[in-house]
Amino acid sequence: MRLADFIVQEMEAILAAWEAFAATLLPASAELESVDLREEAEQMLHAVAADLRTPQTREAQHKKSLDQGPTPIGTSESAARTHGFLRARAGFTVNQVAAEYRALRASVLRLWMDDCAPQAPDLGDLIRFNEAIDQALAESVTSFNLQIEQNRNLLLGMLGHDMRSPLQAIQATSSYLAALNAGEDVSQAAGRLIRSGARMQGLLDDLTEFNRTKLGLGINVSPMPIDLADVLAEELDELRAIHPERQIEMHVTGDLRGVWDRQRLQQLLGNLVLNAIKYGTQNTPVRVAMTGDATHVRIDVSNCGAAIEPATLARIFNPLERGQNHQNEDDKSGSLGLGLYIAREIAKAHHGAIETRSDETETIFSVSLPRAKS
């Protein structure tokens, strides 16, 4: 019997074998009923049978093996995608999902070969069936991974939201204790709480911004006419107060007026300068040069220090990447490695761009911003 006919005829036996195996994938399957364990499998098998009955040239078969074939016939794609989605929601791992398809493949082929005996099974059907199962597995895993990523992003969003209230309470109480003038010990303890709260607030803000970009929402900006020289000078004054041991220079050339989000560009500059402080040579200044021309403003943040290796430079704006901090072995900033990534996203939100270059003498981060949204 040809494999397509066998699959349709023995559908219940195949589904029962699928269900029995899926039920062993604990703990995720423990709470699933029979209909949940075999859901979408029948649609996938009918689609596989339809695909087996469809003529296929050698060229089409070769393209399919390279994942260049046409969209699968019937409902194989949607059923497999739905299966991956449901398994992710049920708590399965991707290895368990792959194991289901491995078991399905083995079960169908074992039952079919037993039915064909003593004659040899059709080799073409065997090849086409494996192609169809591989395609369904690829679709299912893709859908599974998308759902897992969405779940992770939603969790990060809820975590960021729920942490804000207790953190604000800690910061308010710390400020109240500091204002009591209840003695040096209390003042010092309150100061540590305030600094730790500010650090936690920064990490939480970075986490929230990262989550927005991963959800496809991007960085939210509210542009208005500003003089960037004054705005960024305020940010540098705050950074000098936080890091009095470091020299931070500022040089302005040309007109720096334009339409931007004030706080976002302060955040961008702060991330770049803090990165320069952290990774630059400690006894050398961090230089911020701002230049305005007819259409754009350019911000260059530079520091002296060892050159960044090309491999590191190529991924330096990737999220959760952290460089080798040779200058600050005892650094306890608690950075998530999101500062440069968020700086790039802020530049993109203003229709601008950011790039970096590094050699043995200095590392420079350059930001180019149009004066207004185009």
58 Cβ contact list (under 8 Å, min separation 6): none
Please tell me whether residues 49 and 104 are part of one structural domain.
yes
219 Cβ contact list (under 8 Å, min separation 6): 209, 212, 213, 264, 342, 345, 346, 348, 349
- 42: nearest Cα among 12, 64, 67, 21: 12
Least reliable range by pLDDT among 32-46, 89-103, 182-196: 182-196
> Whole-model pTM?
0.53
The alpha carbons of the chain give a radius of gyration, in whole angstroms, of 30
- pLDDT band per the 50, 70, 90 thresholds, residue 65: low
Q: Is the pLDDT of residue 115 over 60?
A: yes
Last residue of a domain, one of 217, 243, 267: 217
119 vs 286, higher pLDDT? 286
Please tell me whether residues 211 and 230 are part of one structural domain.
no
Q: Is the pLDDT of residue 204 over 60?
A: yes
Q: pLDDT value at position 330? A: 40
CA atoms 152, 332, 206, 373: torsion sign? negative
Stretch 124-153: mean pLDDT? 84
Please tell me whether residues 176 and 264 are part of one structural domain.
no
- 86: nearest Cα among 25, 152, 40: 40
Looking at the chain, the whole-number percentage of residues with pLDDT higher than 90 is 20
Q: pLDDT value at position 178? A: 77
Please tell me whether residues 244 and 184 are part of one structural domain.
no
Stretch 200-225: mean pLDDT? 73
Per the structure, the complete domain to which residue 7 belongs is given by: 1-217
DSSP result, 88-157: HHHT--HHHHHHHHHHHHHHHHHHHHHHHTTSPPPHHHHHHHHHHHHHHHHHHHHHHHHHHHHHHHHHHH
Least reliable range by pLDDT among 66-70, 232-236, 303-307: 66-70
- pLDDT band per the 50, 70, 90 thresholds, residue 329: very low
Please tell me whether residues 229 and 197 are part of one structural domain.
no
Domains in the chain, number: 2
Please tell me whether residues 185 and 231 are part of one structural domain.
no
Please tell me whether residues 258 and 161 are part of one structural domain.
no
335 vs 99, higher pLDDT? 99
Please tell me whether residues 273 and 153 are part of one structural domain.
no
Please tell me whether residues 209 and 116 are part of one structural domain.
yes
- pLDDT band per the 50, 70, 90 thresholds, residue 368: very high
Stretch 256-275: mean pLDDT? 91
Please tell me whether residues 207 and 239 are part of one structural domain.
no
- pLDDT band per the 50, 70, 90 thresholds, residue 71: low
80 vs 202, higher pLDDT? 80
Please tell me whether residues 1 and 19 are part of one structural domain.
yes
Last residue of a domain, one of 217, 246, 262: 217
- pLDDT band per the 50, 70, 90 thresholds, residue 326: very low
Last residue of a domain, one of 175, 193, 217: 217
Average pLDDT over the chain reads 81
What's 281's domain CATH number?
3.30.565.10
Q: Is the pLDDT of residue 310 over 70?
A: yes
- Burial (CB < 10 A; 0-12, 13-18, 19+), residue 150, is middle
Contacts of range 110-117, beta carbons closer than 8 Å, 24 or more positions apart: 111/6, 111/10, 111/13, 111/14, 111/17, 112/1, 112/3, 112/6, 112/7, 115/1, 115/6, 115/10, 116/1
Q: Is the pLDDT of residue 354 over 90?
A: yes
Please tell me whether residues 4 and 118 are part of one structural domain.
yes
